[in-house]
Every structure is written in C-alpha cells, then in structure tokens.
Amino acid sequence: MDSYFPLLVLFGIGIALSGGFVILSAFTGKKKPTPEKMTPYECGLDPIGAPRQRFSVKFYLIAVLFILFDIETVFLYPWASLFKQFKSAGLGGFIFIEMVVFLGVLALGLVYVWRRGALEWEK
C-alpha cells in the first residue's frame, strides 16, 4: 500500500485542482445570456433548420455494430502479439482454436445482421 501512496496523492491533487477550477469559473464567469450567445454554432455559418432534429434509428444501429466489431480489434491485437509466447509454451493450438471460435461467433453475428437487413440503408 505504501508504494501506491504517491499515486493516490497525485490523483487527489488532480481531482482537487479540477474541482477547484470548475467552482472558481462558476463564481467568476459572466452569466448574462444574450441572443447571440444562445444561438447554436455551426462552423461559422448561420444555423439551418431547427437545432433538434430527429435522426433515423439506422444511425444508432450502425454505430452499435461499428463499436461491436471495433472492440473485436481490441481483443485481436493482444492475442496476435502474445501468440508466439503461447506457442513456445505449448499452448499454441488451444489459443488458436479459442480465437477461431471467437471469430466464428462474430462471423455468425455478422451473417445474422446481414440477413436481417440491418446493413441495408434503403429498403
């Protein structure tokens, strides 16, 4: 526990400073809302349309699928970098089959999503 004390102090100081700056800016900042300040900002151009527009559920579905298959990379990279060590320890076949099963489950999920039409933008 003694070896983690400097790290704990560092986090404590960081949290205290961050909180202090937030509180300080809340007390010292200007709070006069003007019509110019209340307009949404769009890259220096005048806003077009209402600020609250409905989005298609397709955007959400594509985002979730992207995150799902992007996280696959998070698991593949450490596996690929440590595979040689596992192979030299005699566990190469087991680790390889384990990753093939993982990729197979992901492939089945992709086929399921594809057949359900989730990847087709226009129906």
* SS3 state at 42: strand
Task: Judge whether 122 lies within some domain.
Answer: no
Task: Judge whether 121 lies within some domain.
Answer: no
| Contact (Cβ atoms closer than 8 angstroms) between residue 105 and residue 113 | no
Task: Judge whether 123 lies within some domain.
Answer: no
Q: Which residue has the tokens 């190469």?
A: 92
Give 9's pLDDT tier (boundaries 50, 70, 90).
Answer: very high
pLDDT for res 123: 64
**What's 29's domain CATH number?**
1.20.58
Q: Which residue has the tokens 């010292």?
A: 28
Domain containing 17 equals 2-116
Task: Judge whether 109 lies within some domain.
Answer: yes
| Contact (Cβ atoms closer than 8 angstroms) between residue 60 and residue 113 | no
- Kindly report, residue by residue over 35-50, the tens digit of the pLDDT: 877 777 767 777 677 7
* Overall pTM > 0.85: no
**Count of domains in the chain?**
1
